[in-house]
Amino acid sequence: MIDTPANENEPETPMIFIIVGRAWRDKDGDPTELHVFLRAPDDDSAVRATLNALADEGYEEADLDQIGVLHEAPDEEPHASAYQGALEGEVAIVTLK
């Protein structure tokens, strides 16, 4: 995975994205609400990596609603651990009930 941003202004810390959406393991089943944290050079790469990670976890379909860049680490779990995982290169998927 490329870790440098797509523009000339390199930040001091890597770009950590959060993607909010829903995913389905079965097309006819109930959706799982989720937040995905990952490091990526741009939003297109972040979306692509998110969809690949969800497929690897057995989700058949996903609806991604929002994408943003986090400028500081979240304070509360499980988001703080997911952010740390993203800094380390993981695609961290937080499922919500």
DSSP letters spanning 78-89:
THHHHHHHHHTT
In a domain, 35, yes or no: yes
In a domain, 61, yes or no: yes
**Predicted TM-score (pTM) of this structure:** 0.85
In a domain, 36, yes or no: yes
In a domain, 6, yes or no: no
C-alpha angle 30/32/33, rounded to 5°? 130
Query: Alpha-carbon distance 68 to 46, whole Å?
Result: 10
Q: How far from the centroid of its chain's Cα atoms is residue 66's Cα?
A: 10
Report the number of distinct structural domains present in the chain: 1
In a domain, 1, yes or no: no
pLDDT of 14-56, one tens digit each?
899 999 999 999 988 999 999 999 999 999 999 999 999 999 9
For 48, the domain range is 16-96
Residue 69 has pLDDT above 80, yes or no: yes
- Using DSSP bridges, classify how beta strands 32-39 and 92-96 pair: parallel, antiparallel or unpaired: antiparallel
Q: What is the dihedral of CA 17, 20, 25, 26, to 10 degrees?
A: -140
In a domain, 4, yes or no: no
In a domain, 2, yes or no: no
pLDDT attached to residue 1: 43
In a domain, 5, yes or no: no
